[in-house]
Amino acid sequence: MQRVLAYLAAIVTGAAIGLGSALWLAGLLPGTNNVAFGNVDVDGWRSDFAIGSEAADPYTRARVAHHGLLALAKSEAVYFTRNTDDDGRSLSSACTYRLSGGAMPAGWWSVTLYDQASMLPANTDNALSIDAGRAGSGAWEAIIAAAAPADTKHWISSRNAGAFDLTLRLYMPDPALLSEPEAALVPPRIERLSCGEHG
DSSP assignments along 130-199, one per residue = EEHHHH-SS-EEEEEESS--TT-S-EEE-TT-SBEEEEEEEEEE-HHHHH-HHHH--PPEEEEEEE-S--
Contact partners, residue 117, CB within 8 Å, separation at least 6: none
Q: In 10 A of CB 195, how many CB atoms?
A: 12
Which CATH class, in words, describes the domain spanning 33-195? Answer: mainly beta
Flag whether pLDDT at 38 surpasses 70.
no
pLDDT class of 24 with cuts at 50, 70, 90:
very low
pLDDT of residue 20: 45
What is the tens place of the pLDDT at every residue in 143-164? 999 999 988 889 999 999 999 9
Give pLDDT, residue 49. Answer: 75
Q: What is the pTM of this model?
A: 0.75
Residue range 57-79: average pLDDT? 64
Split at pLDDT 50, 70, 90, the class of 121 is: very high
CB burial of 27-41 (b: ≥16 within 10 Å; e: otherwise) equals beeeeeebbebbebe
Residues 6+ apart with CB under 8 A from 99: 111, 130, 141, 142, 143, 144, 156, 166, 188, 189, 190
Mean pLDDT score of the chain: 81
The domain spans of the chain are: 33-195
